[in-house]
Chain A
């Protein structure tokens, strides 16, 4: 499935704004991303594996926090977006 990578994380994806990865749920997808783009998991999740508080993940524009969090199931046709806060003005 397509995963949209926000500006602050693109250093880890060779500048790519969209990457492809697969998984059965969001946690699985993050593991898959970590294998291809080492370091990305640490930016999304804390040491306990929970999603960091300043990061939001959306599946087809729906916040996973209001579904099953990292256990929210995903399928190939989904589009996943990672949205961090940005502070520039």
Chain B
């Protein structure tokens, strides 16, 4: 038992150190945007681990976009700061993938009603693990751009247009080789990637639909802790093989055989 534990720890350590660097938690790495977009087209781009802020009005639809790579399980957290006096308001956080398909939240308070005059409301959405590949008929989260939409879904007319503040942060947990699947997308689901590559030949690329990517680039798809598991498994199998051989074969040559034979 102790051996298996020690082995597990060693494996995990090896997997962790050899695996790709986890999402950088340093919020000062790049300046987080202080405004949000108002549509998919104008969504403000944020990196993982950044806290983006925005000022808006109750009733606005606020959009952000962030990159998520295969094997990650993103968590989107949003805090809405409400004005001093207001009625009960229902706020909602929706996440869409690069194809603008709505993505389900595994857990987290995606919709929440703030009581009258409450100072703020906090929302969260834990997405499913991003898979490297899925069949075209499936709705699984795939590597690429993700959109966050924050809005009030239940708003009395009297509260329309009141100033609100919003804070959004995306973090991702690395799920490792457990989430590896049989396949890989040729290109991450980044909207406008076909036109962006054509336009990059020209000098003036004024605007693209989405220009974000993870800090260390999109995963090439060849690394996974499965290499470590399989290699260690092979090693142990070899050791067990030697053990088994020694057991049946006995130690060294049979004692009755003369050394000169």
A-B interaction: no
> Which residues in B have some Cβ–Cβ distance to A below 8 Å?
none
